[in-house]
Amino acid sequence: MTAIRLLLVDDDPLVRAGLSFMMGGADDIEIVGEAADGSEVEALVDRTRPDVVLMDIRMPTVDGLTATERLRGRQEAPQVVVLTTFQADEQVLRALRAGAAGFVLKDTPPAEILAAVRRVAAGDPVLSPTVTRQLMEHAAAGAPDTRRTTARDRVAALNDREREVAVSVGHGRSNAEIAAELFMSVATVKTHVSRILAKLGLNNRVQIALLSYDAGLLEEDGS
């Protein structure tokens, strides 16, 4: 089994030491580097080639949001899991819109942080349906009308089946749940998700969920 290559980014050396001790004890995870600021991330990624970056949001020079945006704009970018104190705020939303695959709270139990890294490395987002709804509600509270108009223009590129899949992703459902709900195979669901990502120029399922919400698709669905 190939170990998941993990890069730790946090300006607090005690947090980094704790994460390194905790994550380094797992047989399937290899800590390939540590950074104290977002300004160090791109060079470290080039040198260490991580699969996943565990990224603190608040850092003094270049914050985790900016570092995430820079990373996710690159080809063959590693997945990013954001470390945060608050689960539903504008900074978390910005990180997810930039392409982060999810987030974990800093007081999350160690086993759950390990599970989050493994899920992201396997291509699954780290957002439960409950957390997804909280984020969507937060996004709606400050969403300007122009965001909805832009989102509607973008999702117009999807066909009817792709829109159904996008709505189900927006509700936080897994591929297996979507397959059962829409009477298709899991492989077909994966194909539809890949096409949606390509058509809309998105990085992951979290961005599909946010765009579906922005466009009002979840409200129209009503489920």
pLDDT score recorded for residue 205: 85
Q: What's the CA gap between 58 and 212, in Å, rounded? A: 28
**Tens-digit pLDDT profile for residues 202-221:** 888 888 988 888 888 877 66
Residues of the chain with pLDDT under 50: none
Q: What is the pTM of this model?
A: 0.77
pLDDT score recorded for residue 41: 95
